[in-house]
Chains A and B, each alone.
Chain A
Amino acid sequence: MALSSRLAAAESRSRPRGGERGAAAAVLARGVVTSYLGLVVLIPLAALLWRSAASGYDRFVSTVTSPEVLASIQLTILLSLGTTALNALAGTLIAWVLVRDSFPGKRLVDSVIDLPFAIPTVVAGLTLLALYGPRSPIGVDVAYTKAGVGLALLFVTLPFVVRSVQPVLLEMDREVEEAAASLGASGAETFRRIVLPSLLPAILSGASLGFARSLGEFGAVVLISGNVPFRTEVVAVTIFGRVESGDVGGAAVISVVLLLLSGLVLLMTDGLRRWRLVCDG
């Protein structure tokens, strides 16, 4: 009783002043955060949108529908889809092996998975060229080819699916699987009908993150692609080329298309996240 009344007294003494100062600090903090974001992120993005709109509707349409740009958008989407599918498959496999299998060196393999996130993208491109480039020791040269660009995308998006599937596998209850096995289901059947359905949301959300990353990838791709228009040029490389040749307006238009594409992917990812929440109950 004595303690609580003393606490109450202390509170009534400190609250009004602390509260007022706290409120002022909150407004100040919000102001600082908003101005920082405004200067670094918002004003530049507004300038980008403004510049792409300033070129007018006709210019916008003619830029986007020019054969070179269409080809690079098409190539970017196709390569991103292909590599995302392959990494979804391989990523699920790797996650499964890391969780359910045990072998010497497993922890090392587990920590190596994050390397593509830690290594600069240009270095990733050069690294791939060391083995699969012009002076390849195994005679495979993917420089200046679509396959090379795909390889670069596989490298940089490798961790996404592994890292989204792994925790789900770790927490998965194995009783249902054991029940299925004891009822005579084969390993493959158990995986397809029991494990895969519960992994699917995680696989898809990892894959969509990887897909979004692929759409805008530049550093890993640029040295390998050699910027051959119509053949190996992805959207980010096209934009860079336009900036270098002084066509900033065209670059802004293509950037907005890329923004819209990644916006679409983000919406899908958000939908997937909600679906996962529903699935997890």
Chain B
Amino acid sequence: MARLMLRAAALTYLALILLLPLGMMVLRAFGSGPVQVWRALTSPDALHALWLTVLIALIVVPLNAAFGVLCALVLVRHEFGGKRALNALVGLPLSLSPVVVGLALLLAYGQDSWFGGWLAESGIRLIFSLPGMVLATLFVSLPFVVREVVPVLREVGREQEEAASTLGASPWRTLLSITLPSIGPGVAYGVVLTTARALGEFGAVSVVSGNVEGRTQTLTMYVADRFEQFDVTGAYAASLLLALLGVATLLMMNRISRRQGR
């Protein structure tokens, strides 16, 4: 009896906070019919926002994946002073407010910044444009691959790598044919997390973007903008698309972790 009550309480809480609102969001999106949803999603502004979101992810994910693997290798395989500081620094973006991240980038690379004058002279515009949004997304999604790969690297150990180099393999060859394949699942998991964060980032990119409609709007910013313009169908249609991407991420994460047996 007590067990049943606890189960009921837990499931009710989940339903109230999570499941019922999500269900209602789907209903809202389709409230004005699937044709309207399709029209909202294929409007030029929505398509442009989708394209910009995908473009940012396409730039950010490979960069942070490469950085993540390299950084994990440095953290696990090398000994040097300042290693603890590096470790702390890598985890930092997880505990910063996205708005603070955006502001920090604005102050570092904006017009009034240390490099502002030099950047302006060279005709490089980082803030209020694509490069600034890429930087913001790089910042917020930086830790994911590192944090997934570090424990895997530790667990794999060095024996196979040492065997390979004893047998005459170059460090490069050892990296390509021993190290990278063994950390594959960890990298995959980190890449999925990075992608989810890159597609869903809002606070940091809105601070640096300047939010020019149709030019520097990502899909999340498009959602907020449509909602503020009272275009409920547009807002919920784009939300639904983003939520579906989130669910896809979750499914991929489950798949990878099941294969890893964790």
Contact pick for B21, options A34, A109, A128, CB 8 Å: A128
Q: Which of B22, B86, B203, B253 has the most CB of A within 10 A?
A: B203
Contacts of B135 in A (CB 8 A): 40
**Which residue from B11, B25, B249 sits with its C-beta under 8 Å from A130?**
B25
Considering only CB atoms, which chain B residue lies closest to A114 in the complex?
Answer: B250
* Closest-CB distance, B143 to chain A (whole angstroms): 10
Cβ-based interface call for B236 (8 A) = yes
Residues of A with C-beta under 8 A to B102: 243
Query: Of A42-50, A61-69, A175-183, A198-206, which binds chain B?
Result: A42-50
Contacts of B7 in A (CB 8 A): 97, 101, 103
State whether the Cβ of A82 lies closer than 8 Å to any Cβ in chain B. no
B243 CB within 8 Å of chain A: yes
- Inter-chain CA distance A48–B86, complex, in Å, is 20
Q: Is the CB of B107 within 8 A of A48?
A: yes
Contact B107 A93 (CB under 8 A): no
Q: Which residues of A have CB within 8 Å of B28? A: 130
A26 and B80 alpha carbons, distance in the complex (Å)? 10
Find residues 218-262 in chain B having any chain A CB closer than 8 Å to their own CB. Answer: 220, 223-224, 227-228, 235-236, 239, 242-243, 246-247, 249-250, 253-254
Whether B99 sits at the interface, judged by CB under 8 Å, is yes
Residue B176 lies at the interface, judged by CB distance under 8 Å to chain A = no
- Are A120 and B171 in contact (CB-based, < 8 A)? no
Interchain nearest-CB distance for B185 vs A (Å): 18
- B142's partner among A40, A188, A248 (CB-CB below 8 A) is A40
Using A112-B14, A114-B250, A216-B97 as known contacts, say yes or no to A123 and B220 having CB atoms under 8 A apart. yes
Chain A residues closer than 8 Å to B96, beta-carbon distance: 216, 259, 262
Residues on the A chain within 8 Å of B100, using CB = 48, 216, 236, 239, 255, 258-259
User: For chain B, which range describes its interface: under 10, 10 to 19, 20 to 34, or 35 or more residues?
Assistant: 35 or more
Distance from A139 Cβ to chain B, minimum over Cβ atoms (Å): 13
A96 within 8 Å of B (CB atoms): yes
Give residues 94-151 of B contacting A (CB, 8 Å): 95-109, 112-114, 135, 138-139, 142
Partner of A21, one of B80, B90, B168, B170: B170
A84 CB to nearest chain B CB (Å) = 14
Is A277 in contact with chain B by the CB < 8 A criterion? no
Q: Would B21 and A132 count as touching, CB distance under 8 A?
A: yes
Query: B17 at the A/B interface (Cβ < 8 Å)?
Result: yes
Complex Cα distance A172/B165, Å?
43
Q: A-side interface residues toward B, CB under 8 Å?
A: 7, 10-11, 13-14, 18, 21-22, 25-26, 29-30, 32-34, 36-37, 40-48, 50-51, 90, 93-94, 96-98, 101, 103, 109, 111-123, 126-128, 130-132, 137, 151, 154-155, 158, 187-188, 212, 215-219, 222-223, 235-236, 239-240, 243, 248, 251-252, 255, 258-259, 262, 265-266
